[in-house]
Protein backbone atom coordinates (compact mmCIF):
# COMPACT_ATOMS: atom_id res chain seq x y z
CA UNK A 1 0.00 0.00 0.00
CA UNK A 2 2.85 2.38 0.82
CA UNK A 3 4.49 1.80 -2.57
CA UNK A 4 1.17 2.28 -4.34
CA UNK A 5 0.51 5.51 -2.45
CA UNK A 6 4.00 6.83 -3.25
CA UNK A 7 3.48 6.02 -6.92
CA UNK A 8 0.26 8.05 -6.91
CA UNK A 9 2.04 10.96 -5.20
CA UNK A 10 4.88 10.89 -7.74
CA UNK A 11 2.43 10.78 -10.63
CA UNK A 12 0.52 13.73 -9.22
CA UNK A 13 3.69 15.77 -8.77
CA UNK A 14 4.75 15.07 -12.35
CA UNK A 15 1.33 16.19 -13.55
CA UNK A 16 1.57 19.39 -11.52
CA UNK A 17 4.99 20.20 -12.94
CA UNK A 18 3.66 19.62 -16.43
CA UNK A 19 0.65 21.83 -15.72
CA UNK A 20 2.88 24.57 -14.32
CA UNK A 21 5.03 24.51 -17.44
CA UNK A 22 1.99 24.80 -19.67
CA UNK A 23 0.33 27.54 -17.66
CA UNK A 24 3.48 29.56 -17.17
CA UNK A 25 2.16 31.43 -14.18
CA UNK A 26 -1.02 32.52 -15.92
CA UNK A 27 -4.32 33.31 -14.24
CA UNK A 28 -5.79 30.68 -11.95
CA UNK A 29 -8.39 30.07 -14.64
CA UNK A 30 -7.20 29.29 -18.14
CA UNK A 31 -9.91 27.50 -20.04
CA UNK A 32 -12.35 28.66 -22.72
CA UNK A 33 -16.08 28.37 -23.17
CA UNK A 34 -17.91 28.77 -26.44
CA UNK A 35 -20.57 26.14 -26.42
CA UNK A 36 -21.13 22.71 -25.00
CA UNK A 37 -18.92 20.86 -27.48
CA UNK A 38 -16.00 23.29 -27.23
CA UNK A 39 -16.14 23.40 -23.45
CA UNK A 40 -16.20 19.62 -23.39
CA UNK A 41 -12.90 19.68 -25.28
CA UNK A 42 -11.32 21.42 -22.29
CA UNK A 43 -13.08 19.64 -19.46
CA UNK A 44 -12.21 16.01 -18.98
CA UNK A 45 -15.13 13.58 -18.73
CA UNK A 46 -14.98 11.12 -15.85
CA UNK A 47 -16.79 7.80 -15.56
CA UNK A 48 -18.80 6.80 -12.51
CA UNK A 49 -16.56 3.78 -11.99
CA UNK A 50 -13.52 6.05 -11.84
CA UNK A 51 -15.18 8.33 -9.31
CA UNK A 52 -16.19 5.49 -7.01
CA UNK A 53 -12.90 3.63 -7.19
CA UNK A 54 -10.96 5.69 -4.67
CA UNK A 55 -10.29 5.25 -0.98
CA UNK A 56 -10.32 7.93 1.70
CA UNK A 57 -7.79 8.91 4.33
CA UNK A 58 -8.09 8.73 8.10
CA UNK A 59 -9.65 11.44 10.22
CA UNK A 60 -8.08 13.29 13.14
CA UNK A 61 -8.59 11.94 16.64
CA UNK A 62 -12.22 12.69 17.47
CA UNK A 63 -11.72 13.03 21.23
CA UNK A 64 -9.02 15.67 20.93
CA UNK A 65 -10.99 17.56 18.30
CA UNK A 66 -14.06 17.59 20.54
CA UNK A 67 -12.01 18.97 23.42
CA UNK A 68 -10.64 21.74 21.26
CA UNK A 69 -14.09 22.53 19.90
CA UNK A 70 -15.47 23.10 23.40
CA UNK A 71 -12.52 25.31 24.26
CA UNK A 72 -12.97 27.30 21.06
CA UNK A 73 -16.68 27.68 21.79
CA UNK A 74 -15.95 29.29 25.15
CA UNK A 75 -13.42 31.65 23.59
CA UNK A 76 -15.76 32.78 20.83
CA UNK A 77 -18.69 33.22 23.20
CA UNK A 78 -16.57 35.41 25.46
CA UNK A 79 -15.42 37.51 22.52
CA UNK A 80 -18.97 37.74 21.15
CA UNK A 81 -20.52 38.81 24.45
CA UNK A 82 -17.90 41.54 24.83
CA UNK A 83 -18.89 42.95 21.44
CA UNK A 84 -22.59 42.57 22.24
CA UNK A 85 -22.16 44.53 25.46
CA UNK A 86 -20.65 47.41 23.50
CA UNK A 87 -23.67 47.44 21.19
CA UNK A 88 -26.11 47.30 24.09
CA UNK A 89 -24.32 50.11 25.90
CA UNK A 90 -24.30 52.31 22.81
CA UNK A 91 -27.83 51.57 21.54
CA UNK A 92 -29.68 50.48 24.65
CA UNK A 93 -30.69 47.13 26.11
CA UNK A 94 -34.03 47.16 24.29
CA UNK A 95 -32.60 47.99 20.87
CA UNK A 96 -33.02 45.40 18.07
CA UNK A 97 -29.24 45.28 17.54
CA UNK A 98 -28.60 44.54 21.20
CA UNK A 99 -31.19 41.77 21.30
CA UNK A 100 -29.94 40.22 18.07
CA UNK A 101 -26.29 40.30 19.12
CA UNK A 102 -27.05 38.80 22.53
CA UNK A 103 -29.19 36.06 21.02
CA UNK A 104 -26.51 35.04 18.54
CA UNK A 105 -23.82 34.96 21.21
CA UNK A 106 -25.94 32.70 23.39
CA UNK A 107 -26.61 30.35 20.46
CA UNK A 108 -22.94 29.80 19.57
CA UNK A 109 -22.10 26.13 19.26
CA UNK A 110 -18.74 24.90 17.97
CA UNK A 111 -19.06 21.27 16.88
CA UNK A 112 -16.53 18.60 16.03
CA UNK A 113 -18.95 16.37 14.13
CA UNK A 114 -16.91 13.50 12.67
CA UNK A 115 -17.39 12.12 9.15
CA UNK A 116 -20.14 9.53 8.78
CA UNK A 117 -18.92 6.05 7.95
CA UNK A 118 -19.22 5.09 4.31
CA UNK A 119 -20.08 8.61 3.09
CA UNK A 120 -18.11 10.30 0.29
CA UNK A 121 -19.34 13.75 -0.63
CA UNK A 122 -19.23 15.40 -4.05
CA UNK A 123 -20.79 18.41 -5.77
CA UNK A 124 -21.75 19.09 -9.37
CA UNK A 125 -22.74 22.27 -11.19
CA UNK A 126 -24.92 22.56 -14.28
CA UNK A 127 -23.17 24.94 -16.68
CA UNK A 128 -26.34 25.24 -18.73
CA UNK A 129 -28.27 26.61 -15.75
CA UNK A 130 -25.89 28.96 -13.91
CA UNK A 131 -26.92 32.59 -14.49
CA UNK A 132 -23.95 34.20 -12.73
CA UNK A 133 -26.07 35.88 -10.05
CA UNK A 134 -23.38 35.18 -7.43
CA UNK A 135 -25.93 34.44 -4.74
CA UNK A 136 -23.84 31.37 -3.93
CA UNK A 137 -20.85 33.58 -3.13
CA UNK A 138 -22.92 35.92 -0.95
CA UNK A 139 -24.56 33.06 0.95
CA UNK A 140 -21.16 31.45 1.48
CA UNK A 141 -19.80 34.62 3.09
CA UNK A 142 -22.69 34.83 5.55
CA UNK A 143 -22.81 31.11 6.34
CA UNK A 144 -19.09 30.69 6.90
CA UNK A 145 -18.35 33.79 8.99
CA UNK A 146 -15.99 35.39 6.50
CA UNK A 147 -14.29 38.70 7.08
CA UNK A 148 -16.37 41.64 5.83
CA UNK A 149 -13.47 44.07 5.44
CA UNK A 150 -10.96 41.94 3.51
CA UNK A 151 -13.68 40.89 1.04
CA UNK A 152 -12.59 37.28 1.25
CA UNK A 153 -14.80 34.95 -0.75
CA UNK A 154 -14.39 31.21 -1.11
CA UNK A 155 -16.47 31.08 -4.31
CA UNK A 156 -15.49 32.94 -7.46
CA UNK A 157 -17.91 33.12 -10.38
CA UNK A 158 -16.18 33.67 -13.71
CA UNK A 159 -18.01 34.99 -16.75
CA UNK A 160 -16.75 33.77 -20.14
CA UNK A 161 -17.84 34.97 -23.61
CA UNK A 162 -19.22 32.01 -25.54
CA UNK A 163 -17.41 33.09 -28.71
CA UNK A 164 -13.89 33.24 -27.28
CA UNK A 165 -11.65 30.24 -27.63
CA UNK A 166 -9.15 31.31 -24.97
CA UNK A 167 -9.71 33.02 -21.69
CA UNK A 168 -7.49 36.06 -21.37
CA UNK A 169 -9.48 38.46 -19.22
CA UNK A 170 -12.26 36.67 -17.34
CA UNK A 171 -15.07 38.85 -16.12
CA UNK A 172 -15.48 38.65 -12.36
CA UNK A 173 -17.44 41.78 -11.45
CA UNK A 174 -20.50 41.46 -9.27
CA UNK A 175 -22.85 43.93 -10.95
CA UNK A 176 -24.92 42.61 -13.82
CA UNK A 177 -25.93 39.06 -14.75
CA UNK A 178 -26.96 37.17 -16.70
CA UNK A 179 -25.57 38.75 -19.84
CA UNK A 180 -26.14 37.67 -23.41
CA UNK A 181 -23.77 35.03 -24.77
CA UNK A 182 -21.99 34.54 -21.47
CA UNK A 183 -21.17 31.26 -19.75
CA UNK A 184 -20.69 31.32 -15.98
CA UNK A 185 -18.25 29.00 -14.21
CA UNK A 186 -18.35 29.12 -10.38
CA UNK A 187 -15.12 27.89 -8.82
CA UNK A 188 -14.10 26.99 -5.29
CA UNK A 189 -12.17 24.21 -3.57
CA UNK A 190 -12.50 21.07 -5.67
CA UNK A 191 -11.98 18.72 -2.69
CA UNK A 192 -9.63 16.64 -4.79
CA UNK A 193 -9.09 12.94 -4.33
CA UNK A 194 -5.34 13.57 -4.52
CA UNK A 195 -5.05 17.14 -3.19
CA UNK A 196 -1.60 18.67 -3.75
CA UNK A 197 -2.23 21.17 -0.96
CA UNK A 198 -2.05 18.38 1.62
CA UNK A 199 1.25 17.13 0.19
CA UNK A 200 3.11 20.40 0.70
CA UNK A 201 1.82 21.48 4.11
CA UNK A 202 4.82 21.22 6.48
CA UNK A 203 2.67 20.93 9.63
CA UNK A 204 -0.19 18.76 8.31
CA UNK A 205 -2.67 21.58 8.93
CA UNK A 206 -4.65 20.62 5.85
CA UNK A 207 -5.74 17.08 5.10
CA UNK A 208 -8.51 15.05 3.49
CA UNK A 209 -11.18 13.48 5.69
CA UNK A 210 -12.77 10.06 4.98
CA UNK A 211 -15.95 11.73 3.66
CA UNK A 212 -13.90 13.53 0.99
CA UNK A 213 -13.86 17.00 2.56
CA UNK A 214 -10.43 18.65 2.50
CA UNK A 215 -10.19 20.55 5.77
CA UNK A 216 -7.85 23.06 7.40
CA UNK A 217 -6.96 22.93 11.06
CA UNK A 218 -6.64 26.64 11.81
CA UNK A 219 -4.85 25.99 15.10
CA UNK A 220 -2.07 24.17 13.26
CA UNK A 221 -1.77 26.51 10.25
CA UNK A 222 1.42 28.61 10.35
CA UNK A 223 0.51 30.81 7.38
CA UNK A 224 3.33 29.67 5.09
CA UNK A 225 0.86 29.57 2.15
CA UNK A 226 2.56 26.60 0.48
CA UNK A 227 -0.90 25.13 -0.01
CA UNK A 228 -2.03 28.23 -1.89
CA UNK A 229 0.89 27.85 -4.27
CA UNK A 230 0.21 24.15 -4.80
CA UNK A 231 -3.53 24.52 -5.52
CA UNK A 232 -4.14 24.48 -9.30
CA UNK A 233 -7.53 26.16 -8.83
CA UNK A 234 -6.58 29.20 -6.74
CA UNK A 235 -9.20 28.13 -4.23
CA UNK A 236 -7.49 29.18 -1.00
CA UNK A 237 -7.54 32.58 0.73
CA UNK A 238 -5.25 34.12 3.34
CA UNK A 239 -6.30 36.30 6.28
CA UNK A 240 -3.89 39.21 6.41
CA UNK A 241 -5.42 40.55 9.61
CA UNK A 242 -7.92 39.57 12.28
CA UNK A 243 -11.24 38.76 10.58
CA UNK A 244 -14.11 41.14 11.31
CA UNK A 245 -17.61 39.69 11.45
CA UNK A 246 -20.42 41.81 12.94
CA UNK A 247 -21.90 39.91 15.89
CA UNK A 248 -25.39 40.72 14.58
CA UNK A 249 -24.50 38.70 11.45
CA UNK A 250 -22.52 35.91 13.12
CA UNK A 251 -23.55 32.38 12.24
CA UNK A 252 -23.63 30.60 15.62
CA UNK A 253 -23.69 27.13 14.03
CA UNK A 254 -19.95 26.42 13.72
CA UNK A 255 -17.55 23.56 13.16
CA UNK A 256 -13.97 23.51 14.46
CA UNK A 257 -12.70 22.55 10.96
CA UNK A 258 -15.05 24.82 9.04
CA UNK A 259 -16.74 28.14 9.69
CA UNK A 260 -15.45 28.75 13.19
CA UNK A 261 -14.27 32.35 13.57
CA UNK A 262 -10.69 32.31 12.31
CA UNK A 263 -7.60 33.85 13.83
CA UNK A 264 -5.42 36.14 11.65
CA UNK A 265 -2.72 34.90 9.29
CA UNK A 266 -4.21 31.52 8.43
CA UNK A 267 -5.39 30.03 5.14
CA UNK A 268 -9.07 29.27 4.63
CA UNK A 269 -11.30 27.83 1.92
CA UNK A 270 -14.57 26.10 1.11
CA UNK A 271 -15.40 23.13 3.35
CA UNK A 272 -18.70 22.22 1.70
CA UNK A 273 -20.33 23.78 4.77
CA UNK A 274 -19.09 20.99 7.02
CA UNK A 275 -21.21 22.39 9.85
CA UNK A 276 -24.29 21.59 7.73
CA UNK A 277 -23.43 18.58 5.62
CA UNK A 278 -22.19 16.38 8.44
CA UNK A 279 -25.53 16.95 10.13
CA UNK A 280 -27.44 15.83 7.04
CA UNK A 281 -27.91 19.22 5.37
CA UNK A 282 -26.61 20.74 2.14
CA UNK A 283 -24.10 23.56 1.57
CA UNK A 284 -25.47 27.10 1.62
CA UNK A 285 -24.58 27.61 -2.06
CA UNK A 286 -26.77 24.65 -3.04
CA UNK A 287 -29.66 25.87 -0.92
CA UNK A 288 -29.62 29.46 -2.17
CA UNK A 289 -29.17 28.89 -5.94
CA UNK A 290 -32.32 30.33 -7.60
CA UNK A 291 -32.08 28.09 -10.67
CA UNK A 292 -30.99 24.86 -8.99
CA UNK A 293 -27.68 24.67 -10.81
CA UNK A 294 -25.90 22.83 -7.99
CA UNK A 295 -26.35 19.33 -6.63
CA UNK A 296 -24.63 17.79 -3.62
CA UNK A 297 -24.66 14.34 -2.11
CA UNK A 298 -23.03 11.07 -1.23
CA UNK A 299 -21.27 9.34 -4.11
CA UNK A 300 -21.69 6.01 -2.37
CA UNK A 301 -25.48 6.36 -2.22
CA UNK A 302 -27.11 5.19 -5.51
CA UNK A 303 -30.19 7.30 -4.71
CA UNK A 304 -28.31 10.56 -4.07
CA UNK A 305 -28.69 13.60 -6.37
CA UNK A 306 -25.00 13.56 -7.27
CA UNK A 307 -25.19 9.95 -8.46
CA UNK A 308 -28.29 10.68 -10.55
CA UNK A 309 -26.55 13.61 -12.26
CA UNK A 310 -23.41 11.64 -13.10
CA UNK A 311 -25.37 8.66 -14.38
CA UNK A 312 -27.84 10.73 -16.43
CA UNK A 313 -25.73 13.59 -17.75
CA UNK A 314 -22.11 12.56 -17.23
CA UNK A 315 -19.55 14.64 -15.40
CA UNK A 316 -16.48 16.68 -16.26
CA UNK A 317 -13.56 17.97 -14.22
CA UNK A 318 -11.52 21.14 -14.59
CA UNK A 319 -7.78 21.06 -15.23
CA UNK A 320 -7.37 17.30 -15.48
CA UNK A 321 -3.68 17.77 -16.35
CA UNK A 322 -3.05 18.57 -12.67
CA UNK A 323 -3.82 14.96 -11.77
CA UNK A 324 -5.73 15.93 -8.62
CA UNK A 325 -9.00 14.10 -9.38
CA UNK A 326 -11.45 16.83 -8.33
CA UNK A 327 -14.72 15.89 -6.67
CA UNK A 328 -16.36 19.08 -7.84
CA UNK A 329 -17.89 18.22 -11.20
CA UNK A 330 -19.40 20.19 -14.05
CA UNK A 331 -22.15 18.88 -16.27
CA UNK A 332 -24.55 19.95 -19.00
CA UNK A 333 -28.17 19.58 -17.94
CA UNK A 334 -31.25 19.88 -20.15
CA UNK A 335 -32.02 23.55 -19.46
CA UNK A 336 -30.27 26.36 -21.29
CA UNK A 337 -29.01 29.50 -19.56
CA UNK A 338 -31.97 31.94 -19.64
CA UNK A 339 -31.75 35.21 -21.48
CA UNK A 340 -31.33 38.32 -19.40
CA UNK A 341 -34.90 39.50 -19.96
CA UNK A 342 -36.25 36.18 -18.65
CA UNK A 343 -34.72 36.95 -15.27
CA UNK A 344 -34.85 40.75 -15.02
CA UNK A 345 -37.76 41.55 -17.36
CA UNK A 346 -35.46 43.90 -19.26
CA UNK A 347 -35.54 43.89 -23.04
CA UNK A 348 -33.02 45.25 -25.52
CA UNK A 349 -32.49 48.97 -25.17
CA UNK A 350 -32.67 48.84 -21.38
CA UNK A 351 -36.46 48.96 -21.04
CA UNK A 352 -38.50 46.54 -19.03
CA UNK A 353 -41.44 44.78 -20.59
Q: Both 25 and 118 in a single domain?
A: yes
Higher pLDDT, 46 or 70: 70
User: What is the 3-state secondary structure of the chain?
Assistant: CHHHHHHHHHHHHHHHHHHHHHHCCCCCCCCCCCCHHHHHHHCEEECHHHHHCCCCCCCCCHHHHHHHHHHHHHHHHHHHHHHHHHHHHHHCCCCHHHHHHHHHHHHCEEECCCCCCCCCEEEEEECCCCCCCCHHHHHHHHHCCCCCCCCCCCCEEEEEECCCCCCCCCECCCCCCCCCCEEEEEECCCCCCCCHHHHHCCCCCEEECCCCCEEECCCCCCCCCHHHHHCCCCCCEECCCCCCCCHHHCCCEEECCCCCCCCCCCEECCCCCHHHHCCCCCCHHHHHCCCCCEEEEECCCCCCHHHHHHHHHCEEECCHHHCCCCCEEEECCCCCCCCHHHHHCECCCCCEC
* CATH at 306: 3.30.70.20
In-domain check, residue 106? yes
- The mean of the pLDDT values for the chain is 82
Domain count, the chain: 2
pLDDT greater than 50 at residue 51: yes
| Range of weakest confidence among 37-51, 85-99, 119-133, 331-345 | 331-345
Q: Both 156 and 183 in a single domain?
A: yes
Q: Both 99 and 245 in a single domain?
A: no
Q: Work out the percent of the chain whose per-residue pLDDT is above 90.
A: 60
pLDDT tens for 244-253 read 899 999 999 9
Residue 53: pLDDT band (50, 70, 90) is low
Q: Both 6 and 82 in a single domain?
A: no
Q: Both 104 and 124 in a single domain?
A: no
Q: Both 14 and 104 in a single domain?
A: no
pTM: 0.78
- Domain span at residue 44? 2-62+113-338
In-domain check, residue 26? yes
Q: Both 147 and 203 in a single domain?
A: yes
Q: What is the pLDDT of residue 321?
A: 87
Q: Both 188 and 209 in a single domain?
A: yes
In-domain check, residue 352? no
Q: Both 43 and 168 in a single domain?
A: yes
In-domain check, residue 68? no
Q: Both 263 and 134 in a single domain?
A: yes
Single residue among 54, 87, 110 that ends a domain in this structure? 110
pLDDT greater than 70 at residue 70: yes
Q: Both 18 and 104 in a single domain?
A: no
Q: Both 234 and 127 in a single domain?
A: yes
In-domain check, residue 217? yes
- Top mean-pLDDT range of 22-31, 51-60, 266-275: 266-275
Higher pLDDT, 48 or 306: 306
Amino acid sequence: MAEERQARVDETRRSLLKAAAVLGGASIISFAAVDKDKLKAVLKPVALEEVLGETAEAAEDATELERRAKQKEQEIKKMCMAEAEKICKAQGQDSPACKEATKRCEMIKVKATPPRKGVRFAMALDINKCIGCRRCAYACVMENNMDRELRIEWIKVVGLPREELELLNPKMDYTDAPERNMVYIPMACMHCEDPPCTMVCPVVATYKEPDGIVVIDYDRCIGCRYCMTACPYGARRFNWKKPRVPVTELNPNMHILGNVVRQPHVVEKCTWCIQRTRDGGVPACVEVCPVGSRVFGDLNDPASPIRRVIEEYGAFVLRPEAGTKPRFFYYFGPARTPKKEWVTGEKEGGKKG
